[in-house]
Amino acid sequence: MAKKAVIVWGGWEGHEPKQCVDVFAPILEEEGFEVTISDTLETYKDQDLMLAQDLIVPTWTMGTI
């Protein structure tokens, strides 16, 4: 069974969150992770999704839940 990771990206574009995802998602996939990528902070409110993850990678600046 593959490990699961979720990457949530967005916020201030000056920190280049999408570019970070483009770097790290393939690395995680090469390491055997099934990666879910989201561009909304609402993802953190999905309890079932969050509990199913082995790794949560926040790539967000200046956001509010």
The pLDDT tens digits along the chain (65 residues) read: 889 999 999 999 898 999 999 999 999 999 999 999 999 999 999 999 999 999 999 999 987 77
Distances (CA, A) of 45 to 17, 19, 27, 42, 61: 20, 24, 26, 5, 18
Number of domains in the chain: 1
Q: For the chain, list the strands marked E by DSSP.
A: 3-11, 33-38, 55-61
Domain that holds residue 10: 3-61
